[in-house]
Amino acid sequence: MGFQDSKTNLPTKKEVASFLTGNRYDLMEWAGAFGDLGTLIPFVLAYITILKMDPAGLLFAFGMAKIVTGLYYKTPIPIQPMKAIGIGSVAQAGEFTPAAVWGAGLFTGLVWLFLGLTGIIDRVAALAKKPVVQGIVLGLGLTFMVEGIRSMATNYFLAAIALIMTFALLGNRKFPVMFLLLALGVGTSLAVNPMLLMDLKRGIGFSLPQFTLARWTWSEMVKGALLLALPQVPLTLGNAVIAIVAENNEFFPQRPITEGKIAISTGLINLLAPLFGGVPMCHGAGGMAGHVRFGARTGGSLVIMGFMVIAVAIFFNRGVNILLQLFPPAILGVILFFAGAELALTARPEAAGRQEFYVTLVTAGFAMWNMGVAFVVGLLLHEALARGWIKV
């Protein structure tokens, strides 16, 4: 971002003064605002329908986080659900309550705020050599593409139409293809199930998020911290700290960010979100690729989506699960696929030697399985090759 306090990574006076400038809100920013739906919708729907979390609080926290992030960073730094926590809590819904999810968010917020304020995260990130970072980013991109293909497999015909449409119009800035994808998805859903429209009308109603402190229990909070939050830490390090910094600084070198800043904003978001019933969130690298691929170039896309999400939380609380069903998995899969391809492209090595490229590929392979393991394996392999202990 240009100006920073090297000791604490906290915003400087110049950064605060420019807080409300630098974003655009044009047609392409509106289109790019929807570029992260492929990861947002499935997790939100699962939290609401399986864990029975209050949509008003969950979406309000997401919306506020998006608005503040867009205004502060002024690039499409995404806000996504933390995936390991989301999958773990939903897959074992009988074992975890909303309070456990809030506990996981509070714990992870404290961890990342501590790492950011102390500067420890900067020293950890400094260990990551360029081929390792490229491998993490490449692995994430390929993972998104594979997940996108799996989602597209739910409706091959619809996915084929969406793919052809997207390839044909992807570079058209006068007529953003995202709007056609959304229209195709909604139209298909209503054609298959016309009753969704009546259900949507019944979902209209005013509701405000409620403070959750009265529902916190010590046992559930500790359970969430230990069983949900701890496994998330290495994934966040690779995906939502190291990878997002590399991606942002590749796309937007005029507005560079640091690992310390990202760690601090991740910490603050997750300390505040549980108070309103929000779930653990991070700055996942795939989200930025989706925003950028479909047109976003500033934080305006995050601000736009943030206000839309808050509007749904306040005025459509009872029908959120119905609203999200308007977007078929096949369409979300197409969005996810192109986001993954965009992310993978940022990892392309420039004149890399055989050994460096090998490190990138091995790291990418492990990143598709476990981000923390990929980081460690990549570092060890890079060091072993540099010292001549092994040859490839």
- pLDDT by residue (tens digit) across 77-110? 999 999 999 999 988 878 899 999 999 999 999 9
Q: Alpha carbon 112 to chain centroid distance?
A: 16
From start to end of 25-121, where are the E strands? 80-81
pLDDT, residue 15, reads 45
Domain boundaries, the chain: 13-128+140-335
pLDDT at 10 over 60: no
pLDDT, residue 13, reads 52
What number of other Cβ atoms are within 10 A of residue 46's Cβ?
18
Dihedral, 116, 118, 124, 127 alpha carbons, nearest 10? 120
In the numeric block, which tokens belong to residue 300? Answer: 């305006």
% residues pLDDT > 90 (the chain):
71
Nearest Cα residue to 16 out of 74, 62, 78, 63: 74
- Grouping H, G, I as helix, E, B as strand and the rest as coil, residue 316 is strand
State phi, psi for 270 to the nearest 5 degrees: -80, -15
Instruction: Find tokens 């997002």 and name the residue.
Output: 244
To the nearest 10 degrees (0 to 180), the angle between helices 55-73 and 37-49 is 150
State phi, psi for 234 to the nearest 5 degrees: -65, -35
Sorting pLDDT into bands at 50, 70 and 90, what band is 204?
A: confident
| pTM score over 0.95 | no
pLDDT, residue 4, reads 41
- Find the mean pLDDT for residues 240-250: 94
In order of 101, 213, 222, the CA distances from 217 in angstroms are 11, 9, 9
In order of 355, 364, 386, the CA distances from 390 in angstroms are 10, 19, 9
State phi, psi for 316 to the nearest 5 degrees: -140, 30
State phi, psi for 281 to the nearest 5 degrees: -130, 160
pLDDT tens-digit map of 137-188: 999 999 999 999 999 999 999 999 999 999 999 878 788 999 999 999 999 9
- The span from the CA of 20 to the CA of 170, in Å, is 30
In the numeric block, which tokens belong to residue 165? Answer: 């449409």
